[in-house]
Amino acid sequence: MVTDMKIGIIGLGSIGLLLSACLAREDHQVTCYVRRNQQKERLRTKGVSLYTLHHNRPSSFKVNAKSLGELDEHDLYVVCVKYPQLDEVIQTLRTKAPDNKPILFLQNGMSHVEWVSTLQQPVFIGVLDHGARRKNDHSVEHTGAGVIRIGALVKKDKTLMNHILDVLDTSDFPWIYDENPINLLKQKLVVNAVINPLTAIFDVENGELLTNPYLYHLAKGLCEETCQVLQFPFDKYWDYVKRVAKHTGRNSSSMREDIRNQNQTEIDTISGYVLKQSIRKLPYTSFVYNGIKALENRTGSVSHD
């Protein structure tokens, strides 16, 4: 049985950096695909540095680094880019990746599902609940341990996926099989549609959605609308959203950080996606959608990396 794999990580933001480090730590051969030459050089010379809560000094792991145009053959491709870059990445994978090698997509939102289902390669979909904070081009802080859940988009790819999971899953960095990855995405979508825009608009940590009664009211309204659209039972998912908000109480959501750093947010693939799925009016979702767009517009947001 193979115990190490050649893995191509596409997109080296916080999640891509975390994956690169944790997979390289397990002796997999990791190649990082990035857009900027500066980041490519840094990754080549310095490797990926991983800071964890329990150690003051980071561990560094050797990785290869290339441009997307130089895409090699790998045993597994993991796509960690955000939506604005996804189109180019999918086009490249379509033409340059071997037909039989699996591609794992780790995006938030739901907008990519239809898109990636047109690839000839085996497509895996995953969500992760690790906390990760990018420190610089080649360093990441693992701020909260979690798991990665993945499933195959097409049933016939299950055997291949189980083989991949056998190799990747370790107690230090667990990978868990999920029968219905679309449901995983939807579940995460509910959380993101509630927590992300509210924490970004009101500039608060996640936990304040539970302690501030007015934010609680708005969160509940947003959750109701989202569950209605996704045909989810409200009570169950509202409990789930509250558990996540409690569990990540001191965290700053990715959307809040994007607004603070004047980056483009994922609002279109979260609240925007929910709005598109509904023929009924969703006033709270519409309000936060326009609100986040307004904040992006106000700060003169531009897309970084």
Q: Which residues bind its own copies (CB under 8 A)?
A: 201-202, 204, 208, 212-215, 217-218, 221, 283-284, 286-287, 290-291, 293-295, 297-298
Of 188, 242, 246, 276, which one is the catalytic site residue? 188
Closest distance of CB 208 from its own copies, Å: 7
Q: How far apart are CA 25 and CA 61, in angstroms?
A: 6
Distance of alpha carbon 89 from its chain centroid, rounded? 15
Measured between alpha carbons, how far is residue 171 from residues 145, 245, 247 in Å?
A: 11, 26, 21
C-beta of 144 vs 207, nearer to its own copies: 207
The closest alpha carbon to 241, from 196, 288, 182, belongs to: 196
Q: How far apart are CA 294 and CA 36, in angstroms?
A: 29
Closest distance of CB 85 from its own copies, Å: 24
C-beta of 12 vs 267, nearer to its own copies: 267
C-beta of 36 vs 298, nearer to its own copies: 298
Q: How far apart are CA 299 and CA 301, in angstroms?
A: 5
Closest distance of CB 280 from its own copies, Å: 12
C-beta of 177 vs 202, nearer to its own copies: 202
Is residue 188 flagged as an active site residue?
A: yes
Closest distance of CB 211 from its own copies, Å: 9
Q: How far apart are CA 3 and CA 298, in angstroms?
A: 50
Q: How far apart are CA 130 and CA 175, in angstroms?
A: 11
Q: Active-site residue numbers? A: 188
